[in-house]
Copies of this chain bind each other. A is one copy, B any other.
Amino acid sequence: MLDAAVRIFGQRGYMAASMDEIAELAGVSKPLVYLYLNSKDDLFSACIRREARALTEAVRAGVCPGLPADGQLWSGLRAFFTHTARNPDAWRVLHLHARTHGERFAAEVAAMREDIVAFVTQLIAAAARDAHRRPHLPEGEVAGLAEALVGAAESLADWAGATEGVTAKQAAATLMNFAWAGLGDLMAGRPWVAPEDPQADPEQAPVAPSVPAAQAG
Report which A residues bind B (CB closer than 8 A).
Answer: 1-4, 6-7, 13-16, 25-28, 32-33, 36, 67, 70-71, 74, 78, 81-82, 85-89, 96-97, 99-101, 141, 144-145, 147-152, 154-156, 158-159, 164-171, 173-186, 190-192, 194-195, 201-210, 212-217
Contacts and interface: CB of A to CB of B under 8 A. Distances in A.
Contacts of A152: 148-149, 151-152, 155, 178
Contact of A7 (B3, B204, B212): B212
Contacts of A175: 148
Nearest to A165: B206
A192 B205 contact: no
Given A155-B154, A167-B204, A177 B145 contact: yes
Contacts of A96: 96, 99-100
Contacts of A7: 212
Contacts of A78: 203
B207 A82 contact: yes
Given A192-B180, A217-B27, A212 B167 contact: no
Contacts of A217: 1, 4, 26-28, 32-33, 36
B154 A176 contact: no
Contact of A183 (B89, B151, B182): B182
B26 A178 contact: no
Chain A binding surface, main DSSP class: helix
Given A150-B155, A154-B151, A203-B82, A182 B190 contact: no
A167 B203 contact: yes
Nearest to A12: B101
Contacts of A89: 209, 212
30 contacts: A4-B214, A13-B15, A15-B15, A16-B101, A25-B214, A27-B217, A74-B194, A74-B195, A85-B203, A86-B208, A86-B210, A87-B209, A96-B96, A147-B156, A147-B174, A148-B155, A148-B174, A151-B154, A151-B158, A151-B159, A154-B155, A155-B155, A167-B207, A168-B203, A177-B192, A178-B179, A181-B181, A181-B185, A184-B185, A185-B185
